[in-house]
Amino acid sequence: MAVGSKSLQFFLLFYHILFLLMALGMLVASSLALSGLMAHKAFVDGDMKTSSDVAKRNVNTREGTVNLLGPPSLLVAASALSAIVAGFGFCASLKRNRHTLTALFFMTLVLLLMELAAGIWALAIRHRSKSALRTALYHQFEDYEFGITSIIKDLGRKGDEKPYDHPWDILQSQLNCCGVEGPGDYLKKAALPMSCCSSEESSADDKSKEGKSKEGISPTSLPALWCPSIKQNGCLGALESYVSEYLAWVGIYGIIAAFVNAVGSMFIVMFIYSIKRDLEKIYR
């Protein structure tokens, strides 16, 4: 056997070991990105009907249907398949069978296209996320109920169910924001929820809040009867930055993974032709 084919074989064996480790790391990273976006699924899943409030504000509903969960979901699938292909590639490199290596090449090509598509998709919709999130936020804000309505829902739940938390309560608590554009959005509701109160000022009330939570009433859904400090940042900007950061990382991960697969595909083709040359020398 020619030295060139042996060198390529050792390279591919080493490559697929590293590729397996990279695939597992990519699977963890893409899963974290997906779970981070899923934390606010009500606003980022892109599947909602147009509300009257959104229509009044002339929000483009076509842009509001952007699927922000698509790119990380595709990258998770590609990463899981990459781990399987890496194991197959290691075995194919050991066997030195041209047909098996050809199948490996096409598998790698499919992965390359999936990862490149996820990366480009994430970077493309990253700049359109604001209009999509605005549509989702106004849609949910119109249906946002707090005060006596949320208390009734909490008291009506079963014993093993978690306290009722509207997506807006979770969003305002986790991203430290209030309203779509700001706390002024609550003027028409004539009240503010507790989730709009600054956590820095409400730390003294933590014990009382925990007590209410144990009784079954979610403290963030209660109307703010006394709120010395109100969060001034709107949730549109906060959520846009949050989503944009995750999509940027998904885009970077996808493009890097596609580049690594492109390098692997090139060496697989070289190995196939190297084996072919060795066989031709033997049968001459």
CB of 193 closer than 8 Å to CB of 168: yes
pTM: 0.75
What would the pLDDT profile of 200-254 be if each residue is shown by its tens digit? 544 444 434 333 333 333 444 445 455 678 888 889 989 999 999 999 999 999 9
Domain-wise residue ranges, the chain: 3-136+239-282, 144-236
Mean per-residue pLDDT for 16-41?
92
What would the pLDDT profile of 134-178 be if each residue is shown by its tens digit? 888 888 888 777 655 555 554 455 555 454 567 888 888 888 888
- Hey, what long-range contacts does 47-50 have (CB within 8 A, 24 or more apart)? 48/135, 48/136, 48/139, 49/139, 50/135, 50/139
How many angstroms separate the CA atoms of 267 and 250, rounded? 26
CB of 32 closer than 8 Å to CB of 46: no
Radius of gyration of the chain (CA): 26
Mean per-residue pLDDT for 94-109?
92
pLDDT at 45: 75
pLDDT at 41: 84
Q: Got the DSSP string for 188-230?
A: GGTS-BGGGB-TTTSGGGHHHHHHHHHHT--GGGSB-SS-SSB
- Hey, what long-range contacts does 261-265 have (CB within 8 A, 24 or more apart)? 261/82, 261/108, 261/109, 261/111, 261/112, 261/115, 262/112, 264/12, 264/15, 264/16, 264/19, 264/89, 264/108, 265/105, 265/108, 265/109, 265/112
How many angstroms separate the CA atoms of 135 and 53, rounded? 9
Mean per-residue pLDDT for 34-39?
89
